[in-house]
Amino acid sequence: MAKEIDLWNPWHGCRKISEGCLNCYVYRIDSSFGKNPEIVEKTKDFFLPLKRNKSGSLKIPPLARVYTCLSSDFFLEDADPWRAQAWQIIKARPDLHFCIITKRIHRFYEKLPADWADGYENVTIISTCENQKRADFRLPILLDAPIKNREITCEPLLENLDIKKYLKTGKIKRVIAGGESGPNARICRHEWVESLRRQCVEANVPFSFKQTGARYFYGGKIYSIPRNKQHSQAAKSGMDFEAE
């Protein structure tokens, strides 16, 4: 049975740091409400993984994969005062698996728990690599850091990437690729996705084509894909690869 997927946003708000942030949905959504997306605040859900329903059951059920900090960045400077407590919450739920997507792997060591050792088993750190420049800066840091589970997400994929040498290490458990959504989405080209898939197959690393994005270039044409079809169209392409 597939594991339940949950979200935990212990803080909200962010600051743009790299090319992938240009059309960030946190900025887009906050701005549409007249809210300043750069004001970073703890949310009312800070303790969500520890909370229980009236019936006494945990609000996030055991075995769920918990995507963490999707409306901010877990390693954001503004969140330094809260991160130690967030790590304690993560440690207190070894029955969950926390997936942390970051563009700030260079800040990984800030407020790392004293008992981290070579990593908590229930944490996957997913480094974003939207272009070659960011891949070449972030992936060596990701690979050197004491982490039990490492993944890469190339979203929004902005150009052709060569990540063969990083995949060869055998330390990357999955690569995810996807285009950009939103009204100003940049084009994602099919051959970039194919190339990443090919590199993963060669290195026997699982690959997921998560979503096409809003503007997808395929067979000499740009396709405009509505938000509600971006995941299903990617799934239909049959590009996913599970390692042997």
- φ, ψ of residue 88 to 5 degrees: the values are -60, -40
Could you say whether residue 7 binds ligand SF4 (CB under 6 A)? Answer: no
Note the Cα 71 to chain centre separation in Å.
Answer: 11
Distance in angstroms (rounded) separating the CA atoms of residues 86 and 79: 10
Q: Which of 11, 12, 24, 181 binds ligand SF4 (CB under 6 A)?
A: 24
Q: Which of 6, 7, 17, 145 binds ligand SF4 (CB under 6 A)?
A: 17
Across the chain, how many H-helices and E-strands are there?
Answer: 6, 12
Could you say whether residue 157 binds ligand SF4 (CB under 6 A)? Answer: no
Residue with Cβ nearer ligand SF4 (21 or 112) = 21
The number of beta carbons lying within 10 Å of the beta carbon of residue 41 is 13
Span interacting with ligand SF4, options 20-28, 151-159, 189-197, 209-217, rule CB under 6 A: 20-28
The number of beta carbons lying within 10 Å of the beta carbon of residue 106 is 16
Report 49-78 residues binding ligand SF4 (CB under 6 A): 72-73
**Cβ contact 156:180 at 8 Å:** yes
Residue with Cβ nearer ligand SF4 (72 or 233) = 72
Could you say whether residue 79 binds ligand SF4 (CB under 6 A)? Answer: no
Residue ranges in contact with ligand SF4 by CB under 6 A: 14, 16-17, 20-21, 24, 26, 72-73, 103
